[in-house]
Amino acid sequence: MPESILEVIALDVVDARAARDGGADRVELVADMSRQGLTPAVETFVQVRQVAGLAVRVMLRSHDGYALSDAPALTRAAAELRDAGADEFVLGFLDAAGAVDVAAVEAVLGAIDGCRWTFHRALDHAADRVAAWEALRGLPGLDFVLTGGGPGGVGAGLATLCAEAGRTPRVLAGGGLRPHHVAPLAAAGVDAFHTGGAVRPDGRWDAPVDAALVRAWRDLLP
């Protein structure tokens, strides 16, 4: 991958092709954005995987919110995706107190067998952000944390994101990301960017990813 990473949310193979053609480095494959992104069907993953040269991170999330309410079902889905060839994932869980639910995370990690993964925006809804970052340290395979800097997204959380640049795991900036955010984030050292609605006509989730919009984002990145 290039030094700067552009990740695009894809719902299907049409989105994935457009993301690839526009110069994205990988896609986050999800279903049902009306519920903030759930685990896609195995068949959808298989179709998307056939888009050559594009990394695919697959969402593992079975319902709205950030609790893991049915661990057996989600670990079964993860195992099925793994068997189909998935080797990068997105997940993240909080407990009832708003802390990172390390036990829930580790339960799902057992099904993905050491694959690389992103902790998604559950961080932005944690009761104690500093403690949440600390809880993520050392989790096996974790290489990115998707965050908007807080529950209000990048617009409200820009200063927090800039302050967290250079952390390990690597910050993946996303959640209402807009073009004018890129320069200050890049200047602070953020080098991985995540977008979804901004690469669709009028930001509509019922419209497919537009390769030209993806290219415009790719050209913004250092």
Annotate 87-129 with three-state secondary structure.
Answer: CEEEECCECCCCCECHHHHHHHHHHHCCCEEEECHHHHHCCCH
217, pLDDT greater than 60: yes
Q: Which regions of 106-220 does DSSP assign to beta strands (E)?
A: 116-119, 142-147, 170-173, 192-195
Calculate what percentage of the chain has a pLDDT beyond 90. Answer: 92
Domains in the chain (CATH in brackets) are: 5-220 (3.20.20.380)
* Angle CA 89–104–121, to nearest 5: 55
Q: Please give the pLDDT value at position 53.
A: 78
Q: Could you tell me the pLDDT band of residue 34, with boundaries at 50, 70 and 90?
A: confident
Q: Could you tell me the pLDDT band of residue 51, with boundaries at 50, 70 and 90?
A: confident
Cα–Cα nearest to 196, from 186, 206, 184, 181: 206
pLDDT tens, residue by residue, 108-144: 999 999 999 999 999 999 999 999 999 999 999 999 9
Question: Mean pLDDT throughout 12-29?
Answer: 97
Average pLDDT, the chain: 96
72 upstream amide cis, omega within 30 of 0: no
Distance CA 15, CA 39 (A): 16
Considering only residues 147 and 50, tell me which one the structure prediction assigns the higher pLDDT: 147
Cβ-contact 141, 170 below 8 angstroms: no
Q: Please give the pLDDT value at position 77.
A: 97
Q: Please give the pLDDT value at position 2.
A: 54
Q: Please give the pLDDT value at position 62.
A: 93
